[in-house]
Amino acid sequence: MHRPKICLCLTGKTLEEDLAILNKYRSWIDVAELRVDYLSSDERLNIRRFPEMAGIPCILTIRRRIDGGQYYEGEASRTTLFARALAFADQDARKNFAYIDLESDYHVPSLQDAALAFNTRVIRSYHNMNAPVRNLAEMMDSMRTTGYEIPKVACMARTLSDVTQIFAQTKEMDDQERIITVMGPYGLPSRILSARLGSFLSYTTAPEQLENMKPIGHIDPVTLSETYNFRAIDGNTELYGITGYPLEVTDSPAIHNKGYREHGMNAVYIPIKAQRIEEAIDFANVVGVQGMSVTIPFKEKILPDMQQLSAEVGEIGACNTAIKRFGEWIGYNTDAIGLKQALCNFLGTDTLARRKVAIIGAGGAARATAYVIKQLRGKACIFNRTLPKAKKLAEHYGFQYAELGPENADLLETYSDLIIQTTPIGMGAVKKEKKTDDGVYNSMFDVAAEPVTDAERDPLYFYSFKGHECVYDVIYSPERTPMLERAEEAGCQVENGFSMLKNQAYRQFSLFTGVEYE
């Protein structure tokens, strides 16, 4: 299995801007793609000079709007630009474009002949901006008209299942050169695991230009190389990951992948965004993922997919760690031990005896929290907007329960020695998402968000902190949620959930690998 190259996609308005970006990230890339369609009209006239300026193999691309690009003019002017970029080939091949990207339906024999004559490889590309490709091998064979082309297929994934079927198709393909990339928010695994797809390269974009590629789902080259150990991934790399939805922000890959590097392990941990937990399990089975961290909203939904459950999962009723051993999935919970260690360090004590604790929420994280509070001998009240869920959790541990709202502000104050916030509220702005025909929400169709109410940004918007409360929020990004900011301003001792994240991740690392993290 070959090691894919890292390609930096350049989308500046000027060659000078693109060159500055290239130089900044040169250490992390192998190839640069000059996206001529993003250049201003005047700058397009000078593209022939770019390979010599870049000093690195360059791909010449002038992408049409229909294929996700920014070139609006007609095909005649585009052909002229291609010809200008290939003209006056230099004896030194390094001063010429190393590759030219021509779409599968764009055939100009003179351009292809010129490319062959100048040793410029042709990337013959197909883009589907609306759906995945179901006949991958057949399509790529049809694009190898001379045997000299590198066929490229880039398609949009609407769900993780679309990504899974791309990986499944490549298992039956030969080792001929190809480029495969899955676009959109679900396609990140295809970029990190390019080696598993047999892809010749993986496309990236610099952070300064990522906004230009937001619908495509590019990653930046530093993150790809350093966070995901991209250059070390091969056919023997053990795969792990984190699944959830919307999974917008997670520091877990940085923690786990750092551990693999420091222990010299051939392993990688990746985000696996899924709308349904069944999709994540299917992806793991097809691609060969051996373990997954499980986050919102799947900690309870994953239980039916586990063939075995640890004692902690059985007691808590939530699973945040799934490991595949001997063909069976085993569910664990490391949230509890992670939170227990975090709270003991936060409070400077190993007991909550004589302390009254308010647990905000009744989901998977709240279940682990209640379990820990009981272990530490604290008394608690579960506050949740849906009262039956609060009642069910509270009665399991002999705790009190109440609806989360202004009418119970006095009761909350009674249980305010320690307040533990376990819901996603405060994690970020609320998005409206378009509901698809199959009843799921797809973040690719984000529209303008409605004004965010106090209740949508701060679960305790109705409560006035007095300053004596200890407040722990399991959210760690942002570092200070609106609730934590208010508590800190009132003089409360506060902490976010990063300590819990690290502690539970270290335990997951040990379960995954059999080795202690530190």
Instruction: Report all structural domains of the chain as residue ranges with CATH numbers, in order of start.
Output: 5-235 (3.20.20.70), 254-333 (3.40.50.10860), 336-498 (3.40.50.720)
Buried b (16+ CB within 10 A) or exposed e, 264-283: ebebbbbbbbbbbbbbbbbb
Q: Are 194 and 176 in contact (CB under 8 A)?
A: no
| pLDDT at residue 128 in the model | 94
pLDDT at 436 over 50: no
Closest CA to 47 of 67, 29, 68, 71: 71
Q: Are 444 and 158 in contact (CB under 8 A)?
A: yes
| pLDDT at residue 313 in the model | 96
pLDDT at 78 over 50: yes
| Residues designated as active site | 299
| pLDDT at residue 427 in the model | 83
pLDDT band at 518 (very low <50, low <70, confident <90, very high): confident
pLDDT at 190 over 80: yes
Which of 4-8, 79-83, 89-93, 198-202 is least confident? 89-93
Q: Are 280 and 243 in contact (CB under 8 A)?
A: yes
Q: Tell me the mean pLDDT in the region 279-286.
A: 98
The CA distances from residue 152 to 114, 128, 178, 197, 269, in Å, are 20, 11, 6, 12, 26
Strand residues in 47-193 grouped as ranges (E): 58-61, 99-103, 121-128, 150-156, 179-183
pLDDT at 72 over 80: yes
Q: Are 11 and 37 in contact (CB under 8 A)?
A: no
Name, in order, each residue with C-beta under 8 angstroms of 354's C-beta and a sequence gap of 6 or more.
Answer: none
Q: Could you report the per-residue pLDDT of 308-351, keeping only the tens digit for each?
A: 999 999 999 999 999 999 999 999 999 999 999 999 999 999 99
Q: Tell me the mean pLDDT in the region 142-151.
A: 87
Q: How many helices (H) and strands (E) does the chain have?
A: 19, 22
Tokens of residue 188, six digits: 């990140």
Q: Tell me the mean pLDDT in the region 108-128.
A: 92
| pLDDT at residue 451 in the model | 54
Beta strand pairing status for 432-435 and 121-128?
Answer: unpaired
| pLDDT at residue 212 in the model | 87
| pLDDT at residue 428 in the model | 65
Q: What does the mean pLDDT of the chain come to?
A: 92
pLDDT band at 145 (very low <50, low <70, confident <90, very high): confident
pLDDT at 450 over 70: no
pTM of the model: 0.90
pLDDT at 1 over 70: no
Torsion of CA 402, 404, 408, 409, to 10 degrees: 140
List, in sequence order, the alpha helices (H) in 88-217: 109-117, 136-143, 160-170, 188-192, 194-197
Q: Tell me the mean pLDDT in the region 33-52.
A: 96
pLDDT band at 440 (very low <50, low <70, confident <90, very high): very low
How far is the first Cα of the chain from the last one, in angstroms, to the nearest whole number?
Answer: 32
Tokens of residue 220, six digits: 């930046």
| pLDDT at residue 452 in the model | 66
Q: Are 505 and 241 in contact (CB under 8 A)?
A: no
Q: Could you report the per-residue pLDDT of 385-429, keeping only the tens digit for each?
A: 999 999 999 999 999 999 999 999 999 999 999 999 999 998 864
pLDDT band at 447 (very low <50, low <70, confident <90, very high): very low
Query: Cα–Cα distance between 295 and 302 in angstroms, integer?
Result: 10
| pLDDT at residue 442 in the model | 32
Q: Are 267 and 260 in contact (CB under 8 A)?
A: yes
